[in-house]
Structures are given as structure tokens and as C-alpha cells.
Amino acid sequence: MILRALLSLCLALPGVAQEFSPNVPDAHTLHLWQFDEDGAPFADAGAYPHPMEGLLNGASAAHSSLPGLGKAMSFHANAGGEPGAPDLRGAILLARPHIDSGPRDNAPEDFRYFGPDGAFTYEAIVRFDILPHEAGVVACGLISMDGDGDDRSFNFRIEKEGFLSFIPLPHGGAGGLALATIPTSGPHAIDTTHWFHAAVSYDGNEGVPNNLKLYWTKLGPDLTEANRIGSGTLSTGFSGGTGDFAIGNEARAFDGNAEAEPFPGLIDEVRISGVARHPSDFFFVDPSSRISPELVVEHRSDEAHRPDSRLRLEEVLVDSSPEMFPAANGGALVLPPGLHRLDFDFGFGPDNPGGAIKLRCQLEGIDDRWQETERGMGLVCQALDKDGRVISQSRFPFIGTSDGWETTLEDSAMIRRVEPVYIPEDAVSLRLSLNSGSPDTTGFVTLDRLALTLPGEPDTSLWKNGSVELNETTARAAGVPVGWHRDGSDPAIARVVFRSGAGSLALVDGDQQRHGEWSSVQPISPGAGGVFVLSWQEAYNVSSGSLHRATYVNVPPGNYTFRVVGLAGENDPLGDGISLPIVIEPPFWRRSWFGPVLAAGLVALVAAGVVARLRLMAKRRVELLRSQNALERDRIRIARDLHDDLGTRVTVLNMTAALARRDIDIDPAKAHRHLDKMTDAAREMVVALDDLVWAVDPAHDTLDHLASHLTRLAEEMFRDSPVRCRLEIPSTLPARPLGAEFRHHLSLAVKESLHNVLQHAGACEVFLSMECDDDRITITIRDTGCGFDPKADRGGRGLGNTPARIREIGGSYAIDSSPSRGTCIVIICRLPKTPT
């Protein structure tokens, strides 16, 4: 509070903030209270003055107002009761000195609150201590004539949900409503630091849509007019009766209901005028820029200032989302394939409500005849066929005020309503939707005890979930009853309200640009067509905007035209009307090109299948040939090895046996040497045969088996020799598959290289190492022997045959040697690819 007082003091200093001039009474000012007194009574500067006398329940005067406007009133207090409940005794400023549960606190009978033609403007400036939803009150009262008994006329207040509302009450003679959402963003967003101007005006034209205007303006420099946030409609004007007139609250004071709507902050400059003031005709606009009520009359009679009154299509919603549509007749709205919901909003615009002109619409291709449109909220009953298409529809509107309406959904009486509906025999399901109509429709509606019955059988309902069952899911405003779901551009408009411990479906719509909906679909028995009775209990207070809405659900692909005409008489069209072609594209299988493309595709598919089969057969033949070729190469290799190696050994064995047979009698010692040589040759032949078997055995077609074989080969070769062999082979190698040919050539190349070391290097050390990575193997054979000159050597070292073997398997063979410095051989081979 100290910080707020310092802020007010700073705003009052010259040069710190704009200096405002207070309201100056004119001929149309019925009442003007500026609250510059330190206490009650507060003088009325209007043409029909009546001072405000009752400063009660903690209301206090002499608080800082806007610079230049003197003092203000605070209503952020109470004298007991439960916050948020009807028994709260909140701060209030009353026309009479005391509150009375009877007529003694009524304003006098000559108290004027509308002009000669019924028009009025109610306005005040306000500043919040806390925002409405934090205040813990029923509502935040601004100006009211709402008391006890039969003297309830109107409430101009701020709802705790964030709406600015003007609500005619049952005994004032007027019917209708104005409700609009207070901005929470932008230049006029509600807060607790600035002053705001709130106003409602009525132009006196009974029953004309949008004859009520709501304004909400953040006060500051350079304003040229009030910020309009919404519109409403009074179906009839006030009758002139008076009641408990109050500022900053309602004046209800009977058992169980007290002053439960205190404003949580400051109020100043309360004015009641007998005309609908122009948005510029308020104190915060420079006087030279204001349009007075007299100028408004002149403008209305001036043809140049008459607004465009042509019928126009304002918006098209496709599946609840706004859709761009051609502005001029002739262009078509093209939509993708599928079933679509189409909502059309049309009318004469907010400043040209069209009066009593009737409008009829038709969606050619769906409607067999013209349908007369209705404004307001509505309950729509639609019969659907097996494809989900609407085959019959009935709409029951809610517009104006229901019998028994009081102030809110919670305290108004529920009235039973019964309507006949026709359901065709081919209907398989029924869809009920409670919708808030066109976006500029505002108000309240609640339904309960929905039932669908046969005539004469009121106790058996075919509609399930007609009442909200209270449970952990539904016991809150955002709950969703079983079988129902929310829809619309603002689904939060659809709520659950609670009355006497029971819940019911409701719409609370204060937004002038959005709509909400409850909907439910339930199956019905096949063939159960005919006339049924749809009944429910209802309470509503709905202000229709200037727009009409036509809704079509589950519209299938096709070509349509939406048309609207106005009727000057019973059947005489007025003007050109509206015409919008609509094309919902068919699915691709129903388009003209699909048949030829499908046939061509099938031919191409068959051809591709034939080609693929032929390629597969050719591939199999190639694989067979490759396999046969590989087998043939293995056979040739085996035959060559048998001939070159084993054949030679057998020949040597035979020759040695012949020599032994010749010398056994002549020279027995020499014969024994021949027999020893035969034994060695036989042993070598067994080893060679073992090597040949190892090379062709598929069980050894892996890298680790190759390493084991080379290790064993080196150990056996150098076991009884003066050459010392050292092995550098990894202990674990991946089990990479290797072909028989690859293993055979590589093992023979290594064997021949080791054999050359044994035969020619002399006493030395030889190192055999193997390295392997993902795609290649490197084998190094290095000795410390006598060495040789590779260029000069042409002896039988196997140097020509070994490189040839390695090249045959796609590898490389390198040798480096010189006399007395040993020899180093490096064999690098790319590993065969692992088959996938």
C-alpha cells in the first residue's frame, strides 16, 4: 500500500504523468458522481441529481485518483461473511443511507437511468488492487440496480472469469445481454497498476443485434476514442422501475444473500447518460476531437457516413479452423479429400445488423431447399447414416433470456423444454451438439436431463448420459462428462457448471471472435425411424451478434455452392446475396486419371515382375557357373598339386626303392642308406598330403585356422634345424571366413619362404609375424641369415613361383635382402568380403 501511495503521489506531480480533466456535465448527463468528498453524501452533478448516501461495509473515500481527477472510492473491504459466497458483506456505496431487505433502500421513483428513447451509457474508471480471479468474490460490481424482492433491474460488472458484462435482471423490463472478454494482452491489457475506463452503451433500438456496446480502455495520453471489446443485444428496453441502486457492489441484503460483489480496488468518475455516447465522447479524449450525440444524429442522416450495408460472408471454418476463401463471386474454395465440417458466418456486419431482414441459406448438393437461418446459440440434433453423413437436422436456438433467468447460470431456474425431432429409418447414429453459434454471439446457456423418447413413453430415454454424473473427472469446470467432448475455436467456452451439488453442460461465451461446443454421438437401433421427442431442462441468457451461422458436418467430396439471400418481404430476394462455390476433391482412386494410371501401373508391374524373374534366373545361372568354375579351378589346383608335389615325391620314392633293390645284395650299407632316404621321403609325402587335405577341408576356411596352420608349419619345419624360429601371431583372431583357394596359395607362399630360409640362410633367427585389420592381412618373414642379392640370384629359391601365387589371390609380395644382412619378405593380401 505504501508503494501504491508513492506511485499515486508521483503520478500527481506536474510533468510526471498526463493531467486529465474530469467529466463536465452536458444536456445528456443524467448523473455524475466524482467522489471528491471525504465522505458521504457524494454529490450528483447530473441533470437529475441524487446524492450517494450509504458508504457501508468498509467502503472508504478520499483515495488518490488519476492526476486532475481529485479523489476516488475504495471498495476493497468487507464487514464479514465468506469470501466467494453469497453471504459476503462487501464494501458498497448505496443511493440510500442504509441497506434494507425491502423497498426502503430503493432509489426514488424519479431516479433516471436511461434517456427518453431508452438509450443510455454507463461508465466509470477503475483501478484494481488485485485481479478479478484472485479477489475471491462472486463478481466485481461496478454499477447496479440489483436488490431484493421485485426491484432487480440490471448489473454492470466484471465477472471473476475475466468478462465485462451488462446483464438485465428480471424486474427491469429489459431482456438480453452484453458480455465480452477483457483483454489480457496488448495495449489495453488488464493489470493492477493502471487506471481503466469501463463503459456500456445502448442506442435504444430494441431487438436490433449489437445495440449494446462494451468498452474497456487503458487510460493514457493521446487516446482518440474508447476501445470497444464487444457487443450485445437488448431485445427490449427498461420499463422504468427502480430498485436498490449501488456503486461498487450489488445491494442484496436478505438471509443467505448479502453484498457479495465488492469491487477489489478503486472507482471514480461514475456517469450515467441518457444517450449512447460515441466512442470518442469521453473525458479522456481531447474535446476538439469528440463527436457529440448531436453530431452522431447528423452523421446517421448523412449518406456519405452510412456504413456499407451489403450482405457479406465474414468467415468460413473448415473442421473448426479458419479458411481463406475467394473474396469475389466466381472463385472456388478448394478443399482436400475427406469428410469435412463446414461453418459459414455471414451477415450485415457489426454496424449494420440488418434489422428484421430474414436470411435464407442453401448448400447446393446437400440441402434440397432453402433454410431460414437463426442467430444465437443452439442445440443441434443430427441423424447420421452408416457413412457418417447427415441425413436430417433440427436446430433449437437459444436467444434472449429464458424464463426464470436471474443473474448467473447457478442461481437461475431450469425450465423444461420439449421438441419433436424426425429421424429417418436409414439413420444408424444420432449426434447432439450444444454450440455457441457465430463468434460474435455471447452469453450463457446450461442444459441438463437430456432425453430422447418415443411419443407416449416419457419414462424410457434412448439417449444415454443425458445428465452429468459427478465423479473425479467431472467435478470441475474443465471436466468432461462420459460420452461428450469439447470442440470449437475455443473449447474452454464449453464447461461444466454446478447447481445444488449436481453438474450440467454449459457454454460461457464472452469472446466476440471465438466459439465453443459440446458434442456427443450415440448409436440408435437400425430401422428405428420416425418422430421422437427430445426434451431437456435449460436456462440461458444469450445475446446474438449480427452474424448468422450455417453448419454442415461430414460433407463428402463433391462440387457444391453455398448461397445466402436476404428477404425483404416473405419471399422477395434482397440484393445479390452470397455465392461461394466449394470443391471437395475426391480421393485419388476416384479421379479420372486413376483408372488409366492404375492400368499402366499394373502393366508396368507385371513387366517389372517378368524382368525381375528373368534377371533372377540369369543371376542363378551365373552363380551356378561361378560355382562350377570355382569347383573346376579347385580340381585343377588339386590335380596340379598332386602332380607337382606328391607325384614328384612318389617318383623319387620309386627310384630310391629300385636303387635299394639293386644294392641290397651288392652293397648292403648303400642299400640301407637308400631305405633311410625312402623313409624320409614317405614321411615328407605324408606331411605334404596332410597339407593338401588341410587346404581343401571347408572346416579350415577361417582366419584363425590359417594362423594355427602356419604356426604348426613353422614349428615342424625348424624343429631339428640350426634356425631358431620366433612367432609373433595374435593370440585371438576374428573367425573371418576364407576361401580354400586363398588359404592354399597363402599357406604355400609362406611355406616356400620359410623353406628358403631353412635351405639358404644358414644358422640364424627367423621371425614370423601376422597382423590383421578389418579388410587385410599382413604376414612378415624376416631372418638374420646370410642374405643374398635378389637381382643376381637366379637359383631355386622359389622366388618366381611364390609372388605368382600371391598375385593370383589379389595380394602383393615384397622381398628385401642383401648379402650378410638377412632377408625380409612382406606379404599383404586383402581379405575376402564377408558374404551377406
pLDDT(15) > 50: no
Q: Return the top range by mean pLDDT from 170-179, 297-306, 323-332.
A: 170-179
Looking at 479, 514, 544, which one is the last position of a domain? 544
What confidence tens digit (pLDDT) does each residue in 474-507 have?
666 677 888 899 888 888 889 888 887 788 999 9
Looking at 563, 588, 613, which one is the last position of a domain? 588
Identify whether 644 is part of a domain: yes
What confidence tens digit (pLDDT) does each residue in 410-432 have?
888 999 999 998 888 888 999 99
Sign of the four-CA dihedral 543, 440, 466, 388: positive
- Ranges 27-36, 55-64, 243-252, 452-461: which has the least confidence: 452-461
Residue among 683, 783, 795, 680 at smallest CA distance from 723: 783
pTM value is 0.66
Same domain for 724 and 583: no
Residue among 396, 462, 391, 384 at smallest CA distance from 435: 396
What confidence tens digit (pLDDT) does each residue in 623-634 have?
888 777 766 776
Identify whether 409 is part of a domain: yes
What crossing angle do the helices spanning 668-696 and 703-717 adopt, rounded to 10°?
A: 170
Backbone angles phi, psi at 98, to 5 degrees: -140, 155
CATH number, position 573: 2.60.40.10
| Angstrom distance (rounded) from CA 561 to CA 95 | 59
The grid cell for 103 is 423497498
- Ranges 253-257, 436-440, 690-694, 794-798: which has the least confidence: 794-798
Identify whether 5 is part of a domain: no
Residue 750 binned pLDDT confidence (cut-offs 50, 70, 90): confident
pLDDT(6) > 60: no
Q: What per-residue confidence (pLDDT) applies to 77? A: 95
Residue 16 binned pLDDT confidence (cut-offs 50, 70, 90): very low
Q: What per-residue confidence (pLDDT) applies to 694? A: 65
Mean pLDDT of the chain: 84
| Angstrom distance (rounded) from CA 20 to CA 197 | 13
Residue 469 binned pLDDT confidence (cut-offs 50, 70, 90): confident
Q: What per-residue confidence (pLDDT) applies to 275? A: 96
Q: Dihedral angle at the C-alpha atoms of 52, 40, 136, 515, nearest 10 degrees?
A: 30
Same domain for 399 and 259: no
Mean pLDDT across 128-137: 93
Same domain for 831 and 761: yes
Residue among 149, 148, 150, 152 at smallest CA distance from 252: 148
Mean pLDDT across 532-538: 93
* Exposed e or buried b per residue across 355-371, where buried means at least 16 C-beta atoms within 10 angstroms of its C-beta: eeeebbbbbeebbeeee
pLDDT(149) > 70: yes
| Angstrom distance (rounded) from CA 406 to CA 168 | 9
Residue 738 binned pLDDT confidence (cut-offs 50, 70, 90): confident
Name the more confident of 835 and 681. Answer: 681
pLDDT(573) > 60: no
| Angstrom distance (rounded) from CA 405 to CA 391 | 35
Report the relative pairing of strands 517-523 and 485-487 from DSSP bridges.
antiparallel
DSSP letter, residue 457: B
What crossing angle do the helices spanning 668-696 and 740-760 adopt, rounded to 10°?
A: 150
Same domain for 266 and 217: yes
- Ranges 169-173, 378-382, 645-649, 754-758: which has the least confidence: 645-649
pLDDT(34) > 90: yes
Same domain for 249 and 102: yes
Q: What per-residue confidence (pLDDT) applies to 649? A: 67
Q: What per-residue confidence (pLDDT) applies to 691? A: 66
The grid cell for 495 is 464447461
**Measured CA angle at 203 (ends 197, 204), to 5 deg:** 135
Residue 84's H or E segment, with its range, is: none
Say how many C-beta atoms besides its own lie within 10 A of residue 660's C-beta: 18
| Angstrom distance (rounded) from CA 250 to CA 75 | 12
pLDDT(11) > 50: no
DSSP letter, residue 304: G
Mean pLDDT across 609-626: 87
Identify whether 293 is part of a domain: no
Same domain for 686 and 773: no
Same domain for 354 and 385: no
Same domain for 807 and 706: yes
Identify whether 16 is part of a domain: no
The grid cell for 777 is 592381412
Three-class DSSP category at 560: strand
Residue 195 binned pLDDT confidence (cut-offs 50, 70, 90): very high
The boundaries of the domain holding residue 97 are 30-278
Residue type, 475: A
pLDDT(310) > 70: yes
Identify whether 214 is part of a domain: yes
pLDDT(12) > 50: no
Same domain for 311 and 231: no
Mean pLDDT across 188-204: 96
The grid cell for 405 is 433467468
Report the relative pairing of strands 92-94 and 154-159 from DSSP bridges.
unpaired
| Angstrom distance (rounded) from CA 702 to CA 778 | 16
| Angstrom distance (rounded) from CA 266 to CA 64 | 9
| Angstrom distance (rounded) from CA 71 to CA 295 | 32
Residue among 389, 397, 528 at smallest CA distance from 453: 528
Same domain for 388 and 320: no
pLDDT(571) > 60: no
Same domain for 615 and 764: no
Same domain for 818 and 790: yes
Q: What per-residue confidence (pLDDT) applies to 116? A: 94
Mean pLDDT across 237-251: 93
Q: Dihedral angle at the C-alpha atoms of 710, 716, 720, 721, nearest 10 degrees?
A: -20
The grid cell for 186 is 496488448
Residue 186 binned pLDDT confidence (cut-offs 50, 70, 90): very high
Chain centroid to Cα 208, Å, comes to 39
**Residue 673, burial from CB neighbour count under 10 angstroms (0-12, 13-18, 19+):** middle
Residue 62 binned pLDDT confidence (cut-offs 50, 70, 90): very high
Identify whether 141 is part of a domain: yes
pLDDT(375) > 90: no
Is residue 192 within 8 Å of residue 129, measured between CB atoms? yes
| Angstrom distance (rounded) from CA 799 to CA 387 | 86
Is residue 581 within 8 Å of residue 373, measured between CB atoms? no
- How many domains does one find in the chain? 5
| Angstrom distance (rounded) from CA 508 to CA 541 | 10
CATH number, position 798: 3.30.565.10
Q: What per-residue confidence (pLDDT) applies to 574? A: 59
DSSP 403-421: TT--SSTTTSPPEEEEEEE
Residue 710's H or E segment, with its range, is: helix 703-717
| Angstrom distance (rounded) from CA 113 to CA 44 | 13
Sign of the four-CA dihedral 267, 271, 275, 279: negative
| Angstrom distance (rounded) from CA 363 to CA 96 | 59
Residue ranges with strand state E in 616-733: 724-728
Q: What per-residue confidence (pLDDT) applies to 740? A: 75
Looking at 533, 555, 588, which one is the last position of a domain? 588
Identify whether 638 is part of a domain: yes
